Amino acid sequence: MPPSCGSESYTALAQSMHMTSEKNAVKSMEPNRLRIFLVFFSGIGVAVIGILASQYLRGLSTEFTGHELRRVFSPLPSESFLNIYEEDTLNRALKTLEIQTPNPTKKASVSEALTSLHLALEMKLSGKQKKAVKLFQHAVTLAPKHPDVLNHYGEFLEYMQKDIIKADEFYVRALTYQPTHEGALVNRQRTARVVEELDQMMLRRIDEKRDALSAIPENDIALIRVKKEAYFQHIYHTVGIEGNTMNLAQTRAIVETRTAVAGKSIDEHNEILGLDAAMKYINATLVNRVGSISIKDIIEIHRRVLGHVDPLESGHFRRTQVYVGGHIPPGPSDIHVLMEEFASWLNSESAIRMHPVRYAALAHYKLVHIHPFSDGNGRTSRLLMNMILMQAGYPPVIIHKQHRHKYYENLQIANAGDIRPFVRFIAECTEQTLDLFLWATSEFSRQVPALSQDSLLPEDNHNTIILDHEGSGDFEND
């Protein structure tokens, strides 16, 4: 073969190999370029995410200095977050805040309370009881949850003032805040049985007076008169506890004549008319009815209590959270369930078998603790209590407006865990009301203070009727 032909063939082969090499190089560069682009855009993405995350974290931060941007403070959360807190959640939050936040004022109060307690014990040993009482009371006011203060004051009440019931209450309060308190445990073991027997004696005495009142014929003129007067007293004091400023004569005139009183608000008139309507409803439909107490009965009572004051809210459970002094009632979403449980308890065998005074007092407390309505809870609870008492043969109990501080104080003690003082308070009011009826229907009625007076029983002279075996009444000042 001629050399020229071999040279051309070699050249063609070389060119073919070169082109193949270039194609392979191009193919090998394509994945590298793809990797470069992926790395580049990934870097941009990471940078963007980093910037956004940084701004978000800065927005959450609450510690800024200089002129850095601050998150706008909103006075209220959005509507989707309103009214979602349940009682336990809110209480836990408040307790956590109280624990985490140092309170030098509280520490100073406890320190001052302990100093006052030490001085009170010195006054006690030296026989200066009046000074000791004031120092003990001052210590309790400054540190109402300190177990040592409560226990020592209980011992003073028991041994120096012979008030074993009140002393037992302070021992229980001390154990509420420190269940392992040695002194309070020993004292409580000693007083528990004695106090329970004293409570039973009071209830037996109340039953005797109820039986004596039940023996009076319904057509007795004196009984008819005292029922009418006590009815006005009940309305006057019940609305008065809530702040109504009408006096007894004005209350009676509104109920009897529906005449307006000059200078008084429309709401005050309507509160009286609402309670009158609720009392008449109970007397006409519920007192003589045999059967269970339903939620509908409670709602119907409330519908009349608040019907003149706030027709839109009357007879309806509240739809918002409310706050009652130091007590935070359950949230509105829990009311229906709690009321169902309350109705089940009201009609349970264990509740019905209680002494009527205890049963009525507990029903009052449980309902007012749930606080199911936006307004009128206290009046509705007292009416429910009186309905239970009237079904058991007792007259409707009058809680004097002058005793409202003691009334609310005992409710607060019940919230802290001891319901007995509130039950005793209702028992005392029941006995006082029975005394009123027995006085007014006895031959001694002319010696009794007039029913038209604001206070049925003088504050400083508690007259108690002592019944003999034949049911006649003798008067004793205790």
376 is in an annotated binding site: yes
Residue 188 counted as an annotated binding residue: no
343 token code pair: 């109705």
Bin 132: left if φ > 0, else alpha if -120 < ψ < 50, else beta: alpha
Task: Consult the annotation and say whether 375 binds a ligand.
Answer: yes
Give me the phi and psi of 90, to 5 degrees please.
Answer: -65, -40
Q: What is the Cα–Cα distance from 120 to 156, expressed in whole angstroms? A: 10
User: Which burial class, exposed, middle or buried, applies to 434 when counting CB atoms under 10 A from its CB (0-12, 13-18, 19+)?
Assistant: buried
Q: CA-CA distance, 275 to 259, in Å (whole number)? A: 16
CA dihedral 307, 309, 315, 319 (to 10 degrees): 160
DSSP assignments along 334-366, one per residue: GHHHHHHHHHHHHTSHHHHTS-HHHHHHHHHHH
* Burial class for 158, CB neighbours closer than 10 Å (0-12, 13-18, 19+): buried
How are the residues of the chain apportioned to helix, strand and coil, as percentages rounded to the nearest 5?
65, 5, 30
Is 382 annotated among the ligand-binding residues?
yes
The residues with which 324 forms a beta bridge, in sequence order, are 327
Whole-angstrom distance, CA of residue 185 vs CA of residue 179: 8
Nearest to 264 by CA among 251, 282, 279: 251
The answer to whether 473 is annotated as binding is no
- Give the angle subtended at the CA of 8 by the CAs of 7 and 12, to the nearest 5°: 120
Are the CB atoms for 123 and 132 separated by under 8 Å?
A: yes
326 is in an annotated binding site: yes
State the SS3 of 310-339: CCCCCCCCCCCCCCECCECCCCHHHHHHHH
Amino acid making up residue 217: P
Locus of tokens 């049911």 = 471
Q: Indicate the SS3 state at residue 463.
A: strand
199 is in an annotated binding site: no
Please list the active-site residues. Answer: 371
Count of positions (residues) in the chain? 478
Asked if 180 and 148 count as a contact pair (C-beta separation under 8 A), the reply is no
Q: Which residues contact 169 (CB under 8 A, 6 or more apart)?
A: 154, 413, 418, 420, 421
User: Is residue 374 marked as binding?
Assistant: no
Q: Is 379 annotated as a binding residue?
A: yes
> What are the angstrom distances between the C-alpha of 10 and each of 6, 15, 139, 350?
6, 9, 117, 115
> 183 in helix, strand or coil?
helix
CA distance linking residue 57 with residue 42, whole number of Å = 22
Annotated binding residue 154 = no
Residue 324 assigned to a binding site: yes
Q: Is 410 labeled as ligand-binding?
A: no
Residue 268, judged by CB atoms within 10 A of its CB (0-12, 13-18, 19+), counts as buried
In the annotated binding site for ATP, the residues are 324-327, 375-382, 407-408, 415
In the annotated binding site, the residues are 324-327, 375-382, 407-408, 415
